[in-house]
Structure 1
Amino acid sequence: MTAETENVRELVTRARFVLWDFDGPICRLFAGHPAEQVAREMRGWLEGQGLLHLLTEEERRDDDPHVILRAADERHPGSDLVTALEELLTHHELLAVPRARPTPYADPVIRTWTAVGARLAVTTNNSARTATAYLRGRGLLGCFAPHIYGRTDELHQLKPDPHHLNRALGALGAAPEDALMIGDSPSDAQAATHAGVPFLGYARNDEKEKALRAADATTVVASLEQVLAVLRSL
């Protein structure tokens, strides 16, 4: 058994509360509704409002919808503009749900972890409405509800800020050291560090793993099958 495998076993075995990121560890939300298409529509909406100048040249080329949303919030925090852009992004997330691709082994991991007594929450930079719709469609909502914490138009609360993790911990009555965060991005790792929660990285490719390692994630799995194997051995 490698040191990394032993670390996975220890993290999974000790966790009484599991805080999941959504897009990545649970599913690939934009698998059938490309994120670049969403970013293009958001830029088009800004252009229609005569506000495309709010974005830098680099931001105009970025295919991540969250980059556009955060840029608008940096320049006009708490404005009707940010509320409208956030709602547009949520609209597209909800459109993406029916064609989202489940992360391999995520469904049985969620069900098995619940069956052995862990309590689960979602802590995501996506809309809570989106996560709820997806989980309901997969028959998994009962494993999480009501503990689904996601994006609002208060964008300063998004990860890497630990706001949603702290909300989940408080609602679950969980001490940080008794919890585990599962995420696939540096912002997930950073939020877990800020909240004092142990972190398990999920990386579906080498690029994701490099980014997580650069964010000081010490334990990273390429497949949730490793987590399922530990759970089935309990």
Structure 2
Amino acid sequence: MTSAGDLMLAAQGLLLDFDGPVCSVFAGWAACDVAAHLRDRIAKQGVDVRPVDVESDPLAILVWIGERHPDLVESVETWLCLAEESAVRTAEPANYSDALIRSSFRSGRPVAIVSNNSAGAIRLYLESRDLLRYVAVISGREFARPDLMKPHPNSLCVAADGLNLSPHDCLLVGDSVTDVVAAKSVSARSVGYANRVEKVQKLADAGADAVVTTLEPLALAVAGD
């Protein structure tokens, strides 16, 4: 397996997933509580939410609504965008994420965020960390189109196009199997960021070109380039 640092140096552009590699979005407002908030709102529309009664991922609830109750997807999308924008105000940065973004930019490798989270929430977070100037493209969730979320490669293709690069010339850093699957589908190299120990094998099995438990080797590779 190629080292993460070598993959970073070989890339012409950096694609960063948001929740995980950049920050923990729901550190201050737990994802399970956001999911419960969405269920309450959906239930008030007369929908039986028992099929997602134990679902702790708000994005999974959005996908479920898109599949089962498409007439409500715009409303749920709007509620989720507002919840994410609130949540990022107490998000916790991932170690070395700020340094990686700045160092990649300064090394001549443009940075894009490719995320299933909303672009508005991503922008708010980047502004709060004084990082927006270092990010060329924010490719967040397409409004009311949960079917285009990763593992669909839409956000990667939009980001690479915005960087004037092909996905093949970019490196994706993501913390989930869906990130790796999306990267492989468009021939982008990927580094799996295992921010929890149980993710190491899952990301390797999914086909990540390298797996790291810290972003330090990526940040150091471009800092000295």
Which interval holds the TM-score relative to the shorter structure?
over 0.9
Q: 1:105 aligns to what?
A: 96
Q: Does structure 1 conserve the Cα–Cα contact (< 8 Å) formed by 2:173 and 2:191? A: yes
Mapping 1:111-150, distance limit 5 Å: 111-145=102-136, 147-150=137-140
Whole-Å separation in 2 of the counterparts to 1:107 and 1:217: 23
Residue number among 25, 30, 33 corresponding to 1:29 in the alignment: 25
Mapping 1:177-216, distance limit 5 Å: 177-216=168-207
Q: CA deviation at 1:213?
A: 2.2
Amino acid at match of 1:43: R
Q: CA deviation at 1:227?
A: 1.1
Consecutive unaligned residues in structure 1, runs of 5 or more: none
Q: 1:96 aligns to what?
A: 87
Q: CA deviation at 1:76?
A: 2.8
Q: CA deviation at 1:112?
A: 0.9
Q: Which runs of 4+ in 1 moved over 6 A?
A: none
Q: CA deviation at 1:114?
A: 0.7
Whole-Å separation in 1 of the counterparts to 2:157 and 2:68: 27
Consecutive unaligned residues in structure 2, runs of 5 or more: none
Whole-Å separation in 1 of the counterparts to 2:53 and 2:40: 10
Whole-Å separation in 2 of the counterparts to 1:205 and 1:224: 13
Q: SS in structure 1 opposite 2:152?
A: coil
Whole-Å separation in 2 of the counterparts to 1:141 and 1:9: 24
Q: Does structure 1 conserve the Cα–Cα contact (< 8 Å) formed by 2:85 and 2:121? A: yes
Q: CA deviation at 1:123?
A: 0.8
What is the CA deviation profile of residues 24-67 of structure 1, one whole-angstrom value per residue up to 9, with x for unaligned ones?
Answer: 000001001111111111111121111025x52xx211111111
Q: CA deviation at 1:211?
A: 2.6
Find out whether 1:17 has 2:13 as its counterpart: yes
Q: Does structure 1 conserve the Cα–Cα contact (< 8 Å) formed by 2:6 and 2:221? A: no
Q: CA deviation at 1:229?
A: 2.1
Whole-Å separation in 2 of the counterparts to 1:209 and 1:52: 37
Q: 1:45 aligns to what?
A: 41
Q: Does structure 1 conserve the Cα–Cα contact (< 8 Å) formed by 2:101 and 2:135? A: no
Q: Does structure 2 conserve the Cα–Cα contact (< 8 Å) formed by 1:43 and 1:52? A: no
- State how many pairs are aligned: 224
What is the CA deviation profile of residues 190-218 of structure 1, one whole-angstrom value per residue up to 9, with x for unaligned ones?
Answer: 11011111001111111222331232224
Whole-Å separation in 1 of the counterparts to 2:103 and 2:15: 15
C-alpha root-mean-square deviation of aligned residues, in Å?
1.3
Amino acid at match of 1:65: P
Q: 2:153 aligns to what?
A: 162
Q: Does structure 1 conserve the Cα–Cα contact (< 8 Å) formed by 2:23 and 2:92? A: yes
Whole-Å separation in 1 of the counterparts to 2:37 and 2:48: 12
Residue number among 54, 60, 63 corresponding to 1:70 in the alignment: 63
Q: SS in structure 2 opposite 1:51?
A: coil
Whole-Å separation in 1 of the counterparts to 2:124 and 2:66: 26
Amino acid at match of 2:95: P
Q: SS in structure 2 opposite 1:18?
A: strand
Q: CA deviation at 1:185?
A: 0.5
What is the CA deviation profile of residues 146-199 of structure 1, one whole-angstrom value per residue up to 9, with x for unaligned ones?
Answer: x10111211111100001111111222102222111100011111101111100
Amino acid at match of 2:32: E
Whole-Å separation in 1 of the counterparts to 2:156 and 2:48: 33
Q: 2:208 aligns to what?
A: 217
